[in-house]
Amino acid sequence: MPLLTTAREKNIFTVFAKRAGTIYDTFQANLEDYILRQRALGVSREEIVRRLIADANNGQHIFRELAGDIEKELDISLFQGFQASSNPPDGSGALYHWELDDSAEHCDSCLYQASRGDLTIDQFPIPSNQETHGETNCETYCKCTLVRTEV
């Protein structure tokens, strides 16, 4: 059985891979900038390498930023995967509504989605359905969900 079984899961993975590439590019630019700044201050190459190894081992400075950026993107991708797998399209034209979590403070986009009423699943911002790829203004920790409307 393939690991990625639906078009939605593949789209979520593709978006994550693109974001991870951007994170790597940013890390590389930060690393190059750090090395150039250290060299401009007269720090030897050996000392730069020693500091980078110590920072990597201790999760400090640019390595801490890298880990935080990757963690954030994983959180977003896992949330999107959960939304996609818990609300698969069934082709029946079933209606869904955006349900606000009572315990959450809601962002503008969630309030807007909730105000739209009952719609088909393809009309909501979940991965592979719209350009937003499931992103709301509250981003990673959105507590809202789509619920199938009982007729």
Q: Note the pLDDT tens digit of each residue in 104-143.
A: 788 888 888 889 999 887 777 654 444 444 456 665 566 7
pLDDT (0 to 100) of residue 129? 44
pLDDT (0 to 100) of residue 28? 93
Q: What is the pLDDT of residues 13-41, one digit of tens each?
A: 777 778 788 888 999 999 999 999 999 99
Q: What is the pLDDT of residues 78-104, one digit of tens each?
A: 766 666 666 555 556 788 888 888 887
CA distance 31 to 66: 11
**Neighbouring residues of 132: CB distance < 8 A, sequence distance ≥ 6:** 125
CA distance 31 to 94: 50
pLDDT (0 to 100) of residue 81? 67
User: Percentage of the chain with pLDDT > 70?
Assistant: 70
Tokens 């730069």 — which residue? 48
In this model, does residue 76 exceed pLDDT 80?
no
CB–CB of 129/76 below 8 Å?
no
pTM of the predicted model as reported, rounded to 2 decimal places? 0.52
Instruction: State the first-to-last Cα distance of the chain, in angstroms, to the nearest integer.
Output: 35
**Widest distance between CA atoms in the chain:** 73
User: 30 or 147, which is more confident?
Assistant: 30
In this model, does residue 146 exceed pLDDT 60?
yes
CA distance 43 to 57: 20
CB–CB of 87/118 below 8 Å?
no
